[in-house]
Amino acid sequence: MNLSLLSLLIMTLSCLPAQAQLRYPETKRVDVRDTIHGTIVDDPYRWLENESHADVPRWVEQQAALADSVLRVIPYREQLIDRLDAVNTFERRSAPWHRSGMTFFYRNDGRQNHSVLCMQRDGSSEVEVLLDPNTFSEDGTVALAFAIESRDGKYLAFGKTEGGSDWRDIYIMDIASRKLLPEVIRFVKNSGVSWYGDGFYYSRYDSSSSASKSLVQRNSQQYVMYHRLGSAQSQDELVYTDPSNPEQFVGCYVLEDSQYLIRTVRKGNQDGNEIYVRPLAEPFREWKKIYASATASFYPRHDNNGVLYGVSTDGSPNGRVVRISDPLGNAAMETVIPERNVVLDELSFGGGRMFLTYMSDVHHVVEVADLNGKKLADVSLPGIGSISGFNGFTTDTAVYYTFTSYTMPTTIYRYDIASGKSSVWQRVQAPFDPSAFTTEQVFVTSKDGARIPMTILRKKGVTGPRPTMLYGYGGFNVSITPVFNVNYMPWLEQGCVIAIANLRGGGEYGEEWHQAGMRLNKQNVFDDAIACAEWLIANGVTSREVLALNGSSNGGLLVGAVINQRPELFRVALPEVGVMDMLRFHRFTIGWNWQADYGEISKPDEFRALHAYSPYHNLRSGVEYPSTMVMTADHDDRVVPAHSFKYAAMLQHVYQGSRPMLLRVKLRSGHGDVNRRKQLEGVADKYSFMWSEMGFTPTFKR
């Protein structure tokens, strides 16, 4: 950071009278325009897309310094960081899994940047550290992307990611000796590994286009490779690629105790997928297509003596359990458990059982069935919340699962297959009282009459209009289910409110709910969020003067679109790592993959819909926008920061009022927080900015 520049900005800020307009860095405008389906589209800040442009890092530094100068003078920011640090300091573990005489799990003491992969040998009480990502770098910006042990328990393949990037390098460890094998697998993105034999399958991109690990370059033409342990990556075997369809994800995997190699294909402009199989013992045999749909999905998840099981949404938008008994023959799909009027959110296998997690009004219930679909039991849960787990081997006598809710930290349970009973494996002891807070679910009527769930979190006894953060996502079939978020506590402790809206475009009510918020229906998502904001105001939960809208990634798009359409509803807006230019999102990294949800510019009707709500293209002069802090990260190669750069530049250009329009850029971070400190600072800056702009002063106990 240029210290003289920062000092000048702080001095400038401190000398400004209350409500005076900030002096934003000068941002040049260029004469760039496109004609798309007869419509002229101006793009004066396209130069900010160019990561190699000499002026871009200088401009980003100036914007970051301005945001920092505003945030650092908020008097309670440091106290808030201290409180966030305190509530985050407690031990937590992942659900364990067992293989080859060893139990594996992740553990974090509450102060570590990254959770540590641990193991415990059968019959021993000693917990051993297998892999500690906190040793990868001094500043904690190199993280563990994944770690997967081999079928025989001898080796561990793990991916490292730097600065929050989605690029990863794969390393291989001998578990017994803890020594690394000499080879390193590079050019990997959108892939883990699937072990088989003396190596594993993985997907990569071309080395000539990936060597620099560009954070903006379009990623296309994926290759499925097989790597044998002890050999150089240059000797890896090409398993599959499709030069005629470069914009698709391709991968191969092997299910436990299976003799099939399964190949998956999903095109970037389609919501469905294709599945192919061939015998592992016959690598030159022709692939057999067993499933294909442009709009519905099926992925095999379990192999029972050659019979493949999974969930299909084909003709069943809420999902049904299916099996294919003869994959290499007629490949007929048979329904094992039909679709219900609630969503089949997850299907797991362990101990010769199927565990079916259904979602009803945004919370989970779990049933146990045999492999023919006969119901055996319900799993008794401790309350209304979210479940994950139940994965294991056919021979396992127990499986593990986690339960969490908005007011209950994650608790890990052991489920005994024979008795059908659960027992606590680990209960988190968090340094506060979750019972001091309440959860209320309401249903809001959207513009077209749709019934939208929204959960309201607040401290017990809190009434009247209070500072409120409305959070939403609404896309990509992603369900926002009850999950304990310790970072909510400092906000709620102050008597403030958090409202979480389950918007269309998500998966809360199945594929029909998803499709109601995608492509030409995307405006429904924004209408849902607007209806939720209006409900909060009309019912006295909050007021326009103390209501903020927040969302990340696709949720950042939500924030940008909604405040363009209804700026008067909100006092503060916080779009994080958002997709803000809806006419060029498909040109960077894996943005082409989002066309399945957003639509395709090449289609006139979808172009018109995208252009109508694109946050960057719909900012207008003469509008009193909410106080806005656009948040992004310099190593975000999923939603490239140019989206936020261009949007912030346009916002600062058109807005003539006194409210701040800031661009906050996290350094050495990606689409998510790369270490603990950056996470705490990010949350603190969000809350501090909201409170400051709402005129609310929190009080912290000393």
Active site residue 553: yes
* 0.85 exceeded by pTM: yes
Instruction: State which of 429, 455, 470 marks the end of a domain.
Output: 429
Q: Are 133 and 159 in contact (CB under 8 A)?
A: no
Q: Are residues 418 and 556 in the same domain?
A: no
Residues forming beta bridges with residue 203, ordered by sequence position = 224
| Other Cβ atoms closer than 10 A to 13 | 17
Q: Are residues 367 and 447 in the same domain?
A: no
Q: Which residues contact 676 (CB under 8 A, 6 or more apart)?
A: 88, 111, 112, 113, 140
Q: Hey, what amino acid is at 57?
A: P
Helices then strands, counting H and E runs in the chain, come out as: 12, 40
Q: Are residues 479 and 601 in the same domain?
A: yes
Q: Are residues 518 and 397 in the same domain?
A: no
| Average pLDDT taken over every residue of the chain | 94
Evaluate whether residue 539 is within a structural domain: yes
What CA–CA distances, in Å, run from 323 to 278, 350, 576?
17, 16, 41
Q: Can you list the positions of beta strands (E) in 268-397?
A: 274-279, 288-292, 298-304, 307-312, 320-324, 333-337, 343-350, 353-360, 363-369, 375-378, 386-389
Q: How far apart are CA 107 and CA 117, in angstroms?
A: 7
Q: How far apart are CA 440 and CA 535, in angstroms?
A: 14
Q: How far apart are CA 379 and CA 366, in angstroms?
A: 5
Evaluate whether residue 10 is within a structural domain: no
Evaluate whether residue 596 is within a structural domain: yes
Tell me, what DSSP letter sits at residue 377?
Answer: E
Q: How far apart are CA 3 and CA 391, in angstroms?
A: 52
The H or E element that residue 58 is part of is: helix 55-72
Please report the pLDDT score of residue 289 as a whole number.
98
Q: Hey, what amino acid is at 436?
A: A
Q: Are residues 481 and 620 in the same domain?
A: yes
Active site residue 191: no
- Active-site hit among 150, 165, 348, 553: 553
Q: Are residues 388 and 476 in the same domain?
A: no
- Active-site hit among 364, 617, 635, 671: 671
Indicate the angle between helix axes 77-88 and 676-694, nearest 10 degrees: 130
Q: How far apart are CA 497 and CA 476, in angstroms?
A: 27
| Other Cβ atoms closer than 10 A to 624 | 11
Q: How far apart are CA 97 and CA 641, in angstroms?
A: 37
Instruction: State which of 377, 405, 429 marks the end of a domain.
Output: 429
Task: List the one residue out of 686, 535, 594, 638 whose CA is nearest residue 167.
Answer: 638
Q: Which residues of the chain have pLDDT under 50?
A: 1-19, 209-211
Instruction: State which of 429, 464, 495 marks the end of a domain.
Output: 429
Evaluate whether residue 295 is within a structural domain: no
Q: Are residues 395 and 456 in the same domain?
A: no
Please report the pLDDT score of residue 272 as a whole number.
97
Domain limits at 500? 441-694
Evaluate whether residue 76 is within a structural domain: no
Q: How many domains does the structure of the chain reveal?
A: 2
Evaluate whether residue 445 is within a structural domain: yes
Q: Are 585 and 579 in contact (CB under 8 A)?
A: yes
DSSP per-residue codes, 78-142: HHHHHHHHHHH-S-EEPPPEEETTEEEEEEE-SS-SSPEEEEEETT----EEEE-GGGS-TTS-E
